[in-house]
Amino acid sequence: MKKNQIYLDVGNKIQTGILDHHQVQTGPKQYKCAAQIVVDQPNLILGAVEINPYKKSLPVNIVLHRNPDFDCCASAYLASELIKNGELPEGAELLADYTAQVDAGFKMLDPGQMKTPFVALLSLSNYISRIRPKTGDHNSSVLGEGMNIMKILTQSLVRGTDPDSSQSLDWTQEPLSTLFSLVRKDYAQYRKNFQRTSATAFEVLSLPLFKRGMSGIGMADALFIKDYNSMLFKYWARSDKEHSPGGNGFIMTLATKNDITIIATDPNTEYFLPYLGQVLEKEEVYTRLEKEGKDSRIYGPQGNMKKIRFHYNNDPWYDGRGHDFTIIQNPSCGTVLSHERIVAITKDLYCDPRLNHACS
């Protein structure tokens, strides 16, 4: 392992210099985020840092994934403080525990209380893109602002402040004041989507679920939307008690924008979408053959058949197999299926009259 290079939230291992929880963990403790590993095993950080003869650490590179999220910023802040001071800051465990809740998806957007650390980090990337489009590397800017937010949050946690209260961060200062303004405007944009009845609809579907080792069927609120306006659309939808038929938020969303269709269930529920990707791919093939006389995905520009690496072509509908079948997406080259056709196929698959339920 290269000295003075530390991987956080990437690397798929837990060892000296690599702290990532995204793998099957066989140890006695199951980590929910990289920040927890930093707190529980600081030796994995310190052991990767080379000290020169003058007892000073040399420059250290911290490697993270693109578009740094809450865990990236939290773990990077804790690791940086550890390297700089030789020990973790007071409140490190409190920050790691809160980060684990965020990373596990337990934090939701609440229109009644938007001033939370979760909301701040969720909208930070968009803020950097809009407010500072030409100020160097985007990811570095997000990480820098995010680490500063983590420092302030940790100090609040030490004082005993509720992290989800508006007092945990100073929302009168930049960038938080602008972030709050952006989030409020985004929520207004989200609500306007429901005024466009031709592009927005909702339904109760009979979705498969897997709970405590047993499979079954459950009723889930689903939102179908086209050309939506909201950067935080899926987060608002999952906490939308106003528009969801059951009043608990939408479990499933089917959203089309800029010719990209993504169908997803909330990964923190037991609901998933088996077979839908395969059904949509079958319809994709038949529709392409009907419209074009051939499926252009399996032919090159000269009309010769491409070398096929997968079951039928190299660019099928993604069926969610890498995400526990909780997300479905159209081929990267686009789909010939209309939004309305995709909605109809989804309803046809998951509206079960045997459960005394039929979609409109």
The DSSP line for 82-140 is HHHHSSPPTTHHHHHHHHHHHHTT----BTTB--SHHHHHHHHHHHHHHH-TTSS-HHH
**Rounded mean pLDDT, 165-169:** 96
Q: How confident is the model at residue 183 (pLDDT cuts 50, 70, 90)?
A: very high
- Domain annotation covers residue 360: no
pLDDT tens across 262-295, in order? 999 998 789 999 999 999 999 999 999 898 888 8
Identify which has the larger pLDDT, 74 or 3.
Answer: 74
Whether 225 and 335 map to the same domain: the answer is yes
On whether residue 251 sits in a domain, the answer given is yes
Q: Are residues 255 and 349 in the same domain?
A: yes
Domain assignment of residue 328, given as a range = 196-355
Does residue 356 surpass a pLDDT of 50?
no
Domain endpoint, select from 194, 212, 236: 194
Q: Do residue 186 and residue 87 come from a single domain?
A: yes
Specify whether the CB–CB gap between 189 and 230 falls below 8 A: yes
Q: Is the pTM of this model over 0.75?
A: yes
pLDDT for res 271:
94
pLDDT digits (tens, 9 = 90+) for 5-14: 899 998 888 9
301-312 confidence digits (pLDDT tens): 555 555 544 456
Q: Specify whether 237 is located in the same domain as 225.
A: yes
Residue 236 lies in a domain: yes
pLDDT at 151 over 60: yes
Residue 106: which pLDDT band, with cuts at 50, 70 and 90?
confident
Last residue of a domain, one of 140, 171, 194: 194
pLDDT at 132: 64
321: CB partners within 8 A, 6+ apart: none
pLDDT tens profile 295-341 = 878 765 555 555 544 456 778 899 988 788 999 999 988 999 999 99
73 & 177 share domain: yes
Q: Clarify whether residues 78 and 40 are in a common domain.
A: yes
How many whole angstroms separate alpha carbon 107 and alpha carbon 119? Answer: 9
User: How many domains does the structure of the chain reveal?
Assistant: 2
**Radius of gyration (Cα) for the chain, nearest Å?**
23
Q: Which of 142, 161, 194 is the last residue of a domain?
A: 194
Does residue 308 lie within any of the structural domains? yes
